[in-house]
Chain A
């Protein structure tokens, strides 16, 4: 039997009272929930992009919460509200843009509605029949931020960044040209008409055209532009002459340009150079008359078949053009008076 130790000799352990208000580990759960929730909220706020408003005349197929704003086929924003403006004359579309697109929202950025369209130059936007209309976007060059925009009614013809050059044409009348009418160079489509307007004095039409690269380098100060719409048919002493640029030009109108052989060699024309739009190819490429003489001819016989512009031929070569016919009476006989212009060769039997 072992000797049990004397109880009074053994030291007593110290009592450590239970710490009051011990925080249970379960409180981690709400703290964790709060942290995650705040994290989600902060992330949402940081990814918020700017809200913009675009004013359109009508909101074709635009739906709040569904329609997107696309640039280069990438979604950069979504429509959140479609409402009538305060004076009920326009439609205000509110859109929330992605954060990444925030610095694209500058003063001269452009917005327009993209929908399926059949135009003279083709069918476009077929994809929207399935995916719904969307708002197209084009970058602007300004650096100034903007949040309120006016939407374009028509898609801009030239999207920014497209290589090429813009020129101005002066025409007598619009003919069958319109926005989007093609421009041809040697039968290749080289550009299109982007705008037109009546000149300030009301006597001519100003056309704005855009010639794509690489054709724009063939436009130099001596280049001639002419209206190549429809079919050019002329039946004259030289025979039947039918010219047309293309089927599109036949229907939609078009222009063509070329540099005549006699033009002086020069570098490409600067942007916004003004050119004259001629009525047809012949008059466009006609050499500017350096020496010309006007002649008046008297004929005793009828001048039927002779119209203004008819050629005057010397041994088959065109030397001039019939300009005008009239009649006059001379004391003794009725005679017809005509006048014609000639090229450098003088006719012997002429009276200047």
Chain B
């Protein structure tokens, strides 16, 4: 198939159906007609809004990991913990692998996601962005399913309720920060459109994308 394709052609990632995505109205979404998978969305302001939210998420991430999650006191003893400290305590208790898993899901994955997204969103403000920006986007997207902030919040709340039976517990700033972080991360994924990034990144074979966005069905490269 050659010739100029004014509309974007993709294959559904869930059922592989070849189809074309029409231009979407702002806020609109495109769905696969066969299996219903969401294919693309058209958020308004697809580059500025996610950038602002990602910046906020970066700041909130730092607060969430440095401030105390909760303070407890019982019979004159006091204790408090932060998220990295929780993983560290698991390590100290001999559960090294579990500690690494917790650290990854709670700190490393969301942190890497924020960092990569920030870099990508900043780099495409002056198109065309260098090729490695696309790589970063792929890494960032693969980190997303492993960033388990909301599961962690529920877990902390379950343990908070259990502990509150035997000690008096004060919720710390870290807890609110994690809540805010989860909200921000969700907002980023809603306002972000990866197609906008790919339109502004230099291709692997050196092609610089044109402003119009039209392209031919191209041949795959045989190597880098």
Contacts and interface: CB of A to CB of B under 8 A. Distances in A.
A33 B59 contact: yes
A338 interface: no
B60 A33 contact: yes
B77 A30 contact: no
Range of interface residues on B (Cβ < 8 Å): 10 to 19
Interface string B69-86: 000000111100000000
Given A24-B52, A29-B52, A40 B63 contact: yes
A34 interface: yes
B63 A26 contact: no
A42 to B, nearest CB: 13
Given A32-B56, A130-B76, A131-B77, A40 B49 contact: no
A127 B75 CA distance: 9
A270 interface: no
B173 interface: yes
A279 interface: no
A98 B49 CA distance: 42
A30 B52 contact: yes
Contact of B55 (A30, A36, A66): A30
Contacts of A40: 63, 67, 173
Contacts of B49: 24, 26
Contacts of A29: 52-53, 56, 184
A130 B74 CA distance: 10
B63 A37 contact: yes
B170 interface: no
A30 B173 CA distance: 18
B70 to A, nearest CB: 16
Contact of B60 (A27, A37, A68): A37
Given A24-B45, A30-B56, A37 B77 contact: no
B48 A24 contact: yes
A134 B63 CA distance: 31
Contacts of B53: 26, 29-30
B76 A127 contact: yes
B160 interface: no
Given A33-B59, A34-B59, A37-B60, A132 B52 contact: no
Nearest to A134: B76
Contact of A33 (B48, B56, B78): B56
A51 to B, nearest CB: 19
Given A26-B53, A34-B59, A66 B173 contact: no
Given A24-B48, A24-B49, A40-B67, A30 B75 contact: no
A34 to B, nearest CB: 5
B124 interface: no
B40 interface: no
B59 A26 contact: no
Contacts of B63: 36-37, 40
A66 B52 CA distance: 40
A26 B76 contact: no
Nearest to B54: A30
Interface in B83-129: none
B48 A26 contact: yes
B62 interface: yes
Interface in A270-325: none
B181 to A, nearest CB: 10
A37 B67 CA distance: 10
Nearest to B85: A65
Contacts of A131: 75-77
Interface of B: 45, 48-49, 52-53, 55-56, 59-60, 62-63, 67, 75-78, 173, 180, 184
Interface of A: 24, 26-27, 29-30, 32-34, 36-37, 40, 66, 68, 127, 130-132
Given A33-B56, A37-B62, A68-B78, 18 more contacts: A24-B45, A24-B48, A24-B49, A26-B49, A27-B48, A29-B56, A30-B52, A30-B53, A30-B55, A33-B55, A33-B59, A33-B60, A34-B56, A37-B63, A127-B76, A130-B75, A131-B75, A131-B76
29 contacts: A24-B45, A24-B48, A26-B48, A26-B49, A26-B53, A27-B52, A29-B52, A30-B55, A30-B56, A30-B59, A32-B56, A33-B55, A33-B56, A33-B59, A33-B60, A34-B56, A34-B59, A36-B63, A37-B59, A37-B62, A37-B63, A40-B63, A40-B67, A40-B173, A66-B77, A127-B76, A130-B75, A130-B76, A131-B75
